[in-house]
Amino acid sequence: MEYLIDNDPDNDYRELEKQEMALSSPRYFNDPLEGYQDVFWEGDEVLWENLLRHYLLNLHQAVITCALSDDKETLDKYAIEPKLTRGDLSTDELRQQFDTICRSFFEGKGFERVASSLASLPEPLKRNNLKQILSVIHRSALESVLETIALLNPQKAAV
């Protein structure tokens, strides 16, 4: 092995000789499970409610993006934005709309006790369980978004 290190003109890094290791960032991995982290979600009622609110906020933003985008435009690049906050909404009207969506979802659709139920689970939720919960609530969440937009902006909803 030493022969290959010393005589290889393409080896500028001399990783073995210097006892160094070059690691790629996860986006350059070629195996989908490289860098996979088995994460879980565990929190109190406040954290769960904030997660659900954040889901509603991203869903609201996605509906707005879809309404403003060209029919032929691919929406693959519009994913959930982890750093999106209510304050990032561009107008007071959109912030008020989001508040109404949250009220509709938690109070009107009967999800006000979901956060406390999730907080009282005996085990933390792993990724697939969390995805399943979000899948179950998605339809009601989307209905809250669409109904609120239609209620507050009837002329825009008809377009």
pLDDT band (50, 70, 90) for residue 6: very low
Rounded Cα–Cα distance for residues 44 and 141 (Å): 21
* Phi-psi map region of 139: left, alpha, beta (phi>0 left; psi -120 to 50 alpha): alpha
Kindly state the percentage of the chain with pLDDT values over 70. Answer: 70
Whether residue 89 is contained in a domain is answered as: yes
pLDDT at 58: 92
Residue 31 has pLDDT above 90, yes or no: no
Count of structural domains, the chain = 1
Q: Within 29-126, where are the H helices?
A: 45-68, 92-103, 114-119
- Whether the per-residue pLDDT at 51 is higher than 80: the answer is yes
Q: Does residue 4 fall inside a structural domain?
A: no
pLDDT tier at 148, thresholds 50, 70, 90: very high
Checking if the pLDDT of 158 tops 50, the result is no
Residue 132 lies in a domain: yes
Cα–Cα distance measured from residue 69 to residue 116, given in angstroms and rounded to the nearest whole number: 37
Q: Please give the mean pLDDT across all residues of the chain.
A: 80
Specify if 29 maps to a domain.
Answer: no
Q: Is residue 11's pLDDT more than 60?
A: no
Distances (CA, A) of 49 to 7, 21, 26: 61, 43, 31
Residue range of the domain that includes 63: 40-157
Say if 53 falls within a structural domain: yes
CB atoms < 10 A from the CB of 30, how many? Answer: 6
Residue 48: per-residue pLDDT: 94
Does some domain include residue 8? no
Q: Which residues contact 159 (CB under 8 A, 6 or more apart)?
A: 67
| 139 assigned to some structural domain | yes
Alpha helix positions (H), 69-126: 92-103, 114-119
Residue 50 lies in a domain: yes
